[in-house]
């Protein structure tokens, strides 16, 4: 019996499974390296064009086209991304997008992180694109790779849709998995071979969770991500200008899991309600100006979050471009 001969309800269930089931992620970085290009903003982010799982079904015939479109109309705004963390070679996201966002409101983003030691067959163009060496007066380059990976979704939607807009995401869940590539992963900051040759990242990486083999590599990566995300979301003197966008666009929570078990949860309402900035700067003029900007932004932010949750029309653009 052919697919077209099955009862319509059965066909629609099959279409739903074919379109919505997350695709099998790449077996290794080598499998998709030639299709990847550098992200527009993010150094160390290497993107690949998402595949449309519904396209082949839409093109079969008019009957299938109509039935598949009905399935697409009811697909929830939940998106999945597999991210290969390739040491020194960057973050390699592969999105599963069954249907493009119909509105600015996304229910969930579910991300999986997998660690890889760089293999010998990887193109040299990736090498050094995500550095864990210390920055000059700021964080290491890898911090910005993670930051732009997150804010890119908030500004451009899942799959790097190619134009700047804004999307409001209810929940983001990240699951960091145990490595399966056979490497020892003595450090998450550089490959095993580089570590053996003594080519360690400079300066900041005396912190034990980068190279402490008593801690599992996936847990070390979770510690690194949680530490940096916590600093950005704290909106202190150094991070306020960078964390504002996350407060504006993530509605409920960001959760980090390790092998499926919750490691750290950032509840947005708790962060926002209990927030206090302790260091405003040195001079009275700067302090007064920054406090005034913060109050204007907070009034706008609280109203915007209320409107987003209520499905109401938004309240215009951010009243200040920066605070600190």
**For residues 14 and 5, which has the higher predicted lDDT (pLDDT)?**
14
pLDDT in tens, 221-254: 999 999 999 999 999 999 999 999 999 999 999 9
Token code pair at residue 263: 């490691």
Parent domain of 313: 280-324
Same-domain status, 248 and 312? no
Same-domain status, 262 and 308? no
Q: What pLDDT does residue 300 have? A: 97
pLDDT at 40 over 80: no
Query: Which residue shows structure tokens 């869940």?
Result: 173
Helix (H, G, I), strand (E, B) or coil at 65: helix
User: Cα angle vertex 229, ends 182, 257, to 5°?
Assistant: 45
Q: What pLDDT does residue 200 have? A: 66
Separation CA 99–CA 191 (nearest Å): 37
8 A C-beta contact, residue 108 and residue 170: yes
pLDDT at 5 over 60: yes
Same-domain status, 100 and 213? yes
Which of 259, 255, 280 is CA-nearest to residue 268? Answer: 255
Q: What pLDDT does residue 199 have? A: 66
What average pLDDT score do residues 82-93 get?
Answer: 96
* pTM of the full structure: 0.91
Same-domain status, 57 and 100? yes
Look at the chain and report how many structural domains it folds into.
2
| Top-ranked range on mean pLDDT: pick from 4-8, 19-23, 265-269 | 265-269
Q: What pLDDT does residue 205 have? A: 47
Q: What pLDDT does residue 23 have? A: 80
Same-domain status, 176 and 193? yes
Say how many residues make up the chain.
Answer: 324
**For residues 80 and 77, which has the higher predicted lDDT (pLDDT)?**
80
Q: What pLDDT does residue 257 have? A: 99
pLDDT in tens, 12-29: 787 777 777 778 899 999
Token code pair at residue 256: 């980090």
8 A C-beta contact, residue 16 and residue 71: yes
Same-domain status, 167 and 236? yes
Same-domain status, 324 and 178? no
Least confident of 6-10, 31-35, 155-159, 167-171: 6-10
Neighbours of 46 (CB within 10 A): 25
What average pLDDT score do residues 311-317 get?
Answer: 88
Same-domain status, 199 and 316? no
pLDDT band at residue 133 using 50, 70 and 90 as cut-offs: confident
Q: What pLDDT does residue 28 have? A: 96
Separation CA 99–CA 19 (nearest Å): 9
Same-domain status, 65 and 103? yes
Name the domain boundary from 263, 278, 293: 278
pLDDT in tens, 273-288: 989 998 998 899 999 9
pLDDT at 170 over 50: yes
Same-domain status, 252 and 108? yes
% of the chain beyond a pLDDT of 90: 57
Same-domain status, 116 and 17? yes
* Average pLDDT across the chain, whole number: 88
Same-domain status, 42 and 148? yes
pLDDT band at residue 206 using 50, 70 and 90 as cut-offs: very low
Q: What pLDDT does residue 298 have? A: 97
């Amino acid at each position: 019996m052919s697919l077209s001969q099955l009862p319509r309800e059965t066909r629609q269930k099959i279409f739903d499974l074919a379109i919505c089931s997350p695709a099998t992620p790449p077996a290794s970085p080598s499998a998709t390296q030639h299709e990847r290009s550098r992200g527009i903003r993010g150094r160390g982010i290497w993107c690949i064009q998402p595949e449309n799982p519904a396209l082949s079904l839409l093109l079969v015939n008019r009957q299938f086209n109509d039935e598949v479109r009905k399935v697409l109309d009811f697909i929830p705004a939940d998106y999945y991304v597999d991210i290969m963390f390739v040491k020194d070679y960057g973050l390699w996201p592969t999105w599963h997008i069954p249907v493009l966002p119909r509105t600015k409101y996304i229910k969930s983003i579910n991300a999986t992180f997998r660690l890889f030691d760089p293999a010998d067959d990887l193109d040299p163009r990736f090498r050094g694109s995500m550095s864990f060496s210390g920055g000059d007066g700021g964080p290491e380059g890898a911090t910005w790779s993670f930051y732009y990976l997150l804010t890119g979704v908030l500004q451009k939607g899942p799959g790097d849709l190619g134009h700047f807009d804004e999307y409001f995401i209810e929940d983001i869940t990240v699951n960091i998995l145990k490595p399966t590539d056979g490497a020892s992963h003595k450090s998450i900051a550089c490959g095993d071979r580089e570590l053996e040759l003594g080519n360690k990242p400079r300066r900041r990486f005396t912190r034990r969770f980068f190279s402490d083999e008593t801690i599992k590599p996936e847990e070390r990566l979770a510690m690194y991500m949680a530490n940096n995300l916590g600093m950005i979301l704290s909106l202190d003197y150094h991070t306020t200008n960078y964390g504002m966008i996350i407060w504006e666009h993530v509605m409920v929570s960001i959760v980090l899991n390790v092998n499926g078990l919750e490691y750290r949860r950032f509840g947005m309402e708790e962060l926002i309600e209990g927030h206090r900035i302790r260091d405003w700067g040195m001079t009275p003029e700067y302090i007064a100006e920054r406090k005034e900007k913060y109050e204007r932004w907070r009034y706008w932010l609280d109203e915007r979050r209320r409107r987003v949750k209520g499905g109401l029309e938004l309240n215009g653009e951010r009243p200040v471009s920066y605070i600190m």
